[in-house]
Amino acid sequence: MARTLFTNTMIFEGTGKTLVPGEVLVQGNRIHSVAKPGETLPREGAQVVDAGGATLMPGMVNSHAHPTYNNGTSVAELTNLPVEEHVLLCMHTAKLNLDMGFTALIGAASAKPRLDIVIRNEINKGRIPGPRMLAGSPELTVTGGLADDNQLDAKHPSISIICDGPEEFRKTVRMLIREGVDVIKFNNSGDSFCYPRMAAYDNPMTDAEVAAICETANNIGKRLAAHAHADSSVRQCIKHGVEFIFHASFATDETIGMLERVKDKHYISPAIAARYNTTYEAKDWGITTDVAEMIGNKRELEEGIKVMIKMHKAGIKVLPFGDYGFAWLPHGTEARDLEHFVHLFGFEPWEALRAATAYGGEAWVGKSGEKMGRIADGYLADILLVDGNPLLDLSLLQDRHALLAIMKDGQFHKPFQGRVAQEQQIAAE
C-alpha cells in the first residue's frame, strides 16, 4: 500500500483556530497518523514530502455545486447547449474544481437529467480527473415556479422537471433515483433570477408536494436539497427533514430559532456570491446595481446577510460556495466566498475554513459512516499544501499557484514541487 509522509508542515486540522506544526502519514487512501509537535512518524517505505513549512489542510468541499453550468448569461444558453458538448464542458469543469483545491462536491442541481450522474461515474472510475461527487438531480419545480420558463403559447425548455401534485413528484423522484442521482433537489421558493415570475419570498409548493418528495427520497436513503429563500420554504425543510437548505434569505427570527433546535440535521448554503456578484459585478452583462435592485436580487443579498449573521451566532452550520457557473461568477472563483463569510457574515477566518473543510466533509458523508474533511487518523486523504497561512490570508486559496500540492484519495492530482521551485517556475515563465 502506497505511503506518503508529509513533513515540515503547519497543519490546519479542519476545526482548529491555529496552525500546528507536525507531520502527516498517508497510507493508501487514508490519513494513517498525524504527529503532534515534537513527534516524528516512521518513514520507511514512504515517499517523503518536505513541505518547507507550507500549510497542510483538508481539501475544500463545495456543498452547493453546479458543475454542469456553463458560465453563461442565461438559462437558455444551458438548455441550448447540445448534450455532447455539455458533457465535455462538465469534464473540464470537474478538473478545474480539483485544480482549485476542491476535492469533493455536492451536486445542487444538474442542468440536464443525467449530466451529474455520468460525470460522477467517470470520476469514480478514475477515467477523468475531478472531485468526489454526489450527483444532483435536475431542479424539481411546479408550473409557474422557478425554472418553469414556459408560456401559454410557447414552450421553453429549461433546466427543471415540472411536476404538479404529490403523485407526479413521487413518480419523478423514483425515476431520478432509478437513473442514479444521490441528491434530490426541488425549488420551494422563487428567485430574482426568474423575475418577474416568482419572487424569492414566495413559495409555490404545497406542504403535500414537499412531503411526497421527501418521503419518497428518504424511503430509499437519498439526500435532499431545496432552493428555499422564503421563510415558509425553510419551515417546510425543517418539517420534512431536508438536509441542505439553500439560500434561506428571508428566514424570520422565529424560524431561525426553530432551526437552531435541530441544527445538527441541516446545513445552510446561502450561495451569497450569486447575490453579491449579480448586484455589484454584473454590469458588463447588462445587470447594473439598479437592475439588480429592481428584480429583487439586491434585497436578497441584504436580507441574506442579516440572516446568515444571525444563523452563525446561533451555531447553525452555514457553508460557503454555491451557485457558481454564471458569467459573472464563473467556475474557478469559488474560494472568494471565504472572504464574504468573513467580511459580510462576521466569521473568523478559521471558522470560514472550518465550514469549507470539516463541516463540508461532514455534510458530504452524511450518515454513511465515512470520514472526510479533517486531518486526523482514519480520514480520507484529501489534502492541500498551501504556500502561506490561509488563516491570515484566505485569498491564497483563490490563487492556483499558491496551491502547492493537491491530493485526492491518497493520490496526487498536483504533485508537490517545492516552495522555492514554485517561485522559480513563476519567475521563469
Partner 1 sequence: MCRIFICTTCNRYAPPRADETTPGLRLARIVKAAAAQDKAIAVRMVECLNTCPNPCAAAFREPGKAVIRFGGLEPGDTSALLAAATTYAQSTDGILSPNTLPERLRSKIAGCITLGIPELARR
Per CB under 8 A, the list member of 63, 236, 255, 277 interacting with partner 1 is 277
Residue 268 as a binder of partner 1 (CB under 8 A): the answer is: no
Whether the ω angle into residue 330 lies within 30 degrees of 0, i.e. cis, is no
* Gap between the Cα atoms of 301 and 292, Å rounded: 10
Q: How many residues bind partner 1 (CB under 8 A)?
A: 37
* Gap between the Cα atoms of 151 and 202, Å rounded: 20
* 92, three cell numbers: 473540464
Per CB under 8 A, the list member of 30, 174, 310, 400 interacting with partner 1 is 400
Subset of residues 54 to 83 that bind partner 1, contact rule: CB under 8 A? 71
Taking the least distance from each CB to partner 1, the nearer of 73 and 411 is: 73
* Gap between the Cα atoms of 296 and 279, Å rounded: 10
Taking the least distance from each CB to partner 1, the nearer of 286 and 369 is: 286
Q: Which residues contact 74 (CB under 8 A, 6 or more apart)?
A: none
Residue 426 as a binder of partner 1 (CB under 8 A): the answer is: yes
* 169, three cell numbers: 413528484
Taking the least distance from each CB to partner 1, the nearer of 197 and 283 is: 283
Taking the least distance from each CB to partner 1, the nearer of 167 and 393 is: 393
Q: Tell which residue, 224, 235, 237, has the closest CA to residue 363.
A: 224
* Gap between the Cα atoms of 338 and 343, Å rounded: 9
- Contact between 131 and 105 (Cβ < 8 Å): yes
- Contact between 248 and 311 (Cβ < 8 Å): yes
* Gap between the Cα atoms of 412 and 383, Å rounded: 9
Determine the 3-state secondary structure of 72 from DSSP.
strand
Question: Interacting stretch for partner 1, rule CB under 8 A, among 161-169, 253-261, 321-329, 412-420?
Answer: 321-329
* Gap between the Cα atoms of 182 and 177, Å rounded: 7
Per CB under 8 A, the list member of 33, 218, 333, 389 interacting with partner 1 is 333
Q: Tell which residue, 341, 227, 225, has the closest CA to residue 273.
A: 341
Per CB under 8 A, the list member of 36, 401, 417, 424 interacting with partner 1 is 401
Minimum distance from residue 176 beta carbon to partner 1 (Å): 32
Subset of residues 142 to 161 that bind partner 1, contact rule: CB under 8 A? none
Per CB under 8 A, the list member of 104, 329, 352, 353 interacting with partner 1 is 329
- Contact between 396 and 390 (Cβ < 8 Å): yes
**Residues 344-363, mask of contacts with partner 1 (x by CB under 8 A):** x-x-----------------
Q: Which residues contact 319 (CB under 8 A, 6 or more apart)?
A: 63, 64, 267, 268, 269, 355, 356, 359, 360, 363
Taking the least distance from each CB to partner 1, the nearer of 167 and 348 is: 348
Per CB under 8 A, the list member of 18, 36, 399, 415 interacting with partner 1 is 399
Phi and psi, residue 252, nearest 5°: -80, 170
Residue 283 as a binder of partner 1 (CB under 8 A): the answer is: yes
Taking the least distance from each CB to partner 1, the nearer of 330 and 418 is: 330
**Residues 377-396, mask of contacts with partner 1 (x by CB under 8 A):** ----------------x-xx
Taking the least distance from each CB to partner 1, the nearer of 195 and 280 is: 280
Residue 429 as a binder of partner 1 (CB under 8 A): the answer is: yes
Q: Tell which residue, 20, 76, 103, has the closest CA to residue 194.
A: 76
Q: Which residues pair with 267 in a beta bridge?
A: 244
Please state, as a whole number, how many other Cβ atoms lie within 10 Å of the Cβ of residue 18: 11
Taking the least distance from each CB to partner 1, the nearer of 201 and 276 is: 276
Residue 330 as a binder of partner 1 (CB under 8 A): the answer is: yes
Residue 100 as a binder of partner 1 (CB under 8 A): the answer is: yes
Residue 420 as a binder of partner 1 (CB under 8 A): the answer is: no
Per CB under 8 A, the list member of 40, 343, 378, 417 interacting with partner 1 is 343
Task: Give contact residues for partner 1 (rule: CB under 8 A).
Answer: 71, 96, 100, 276-277, 280-285, 301, 305, 327-333, 336, 339, 342-344, 346, 393, 395-396, 398-402, 426-427, 429
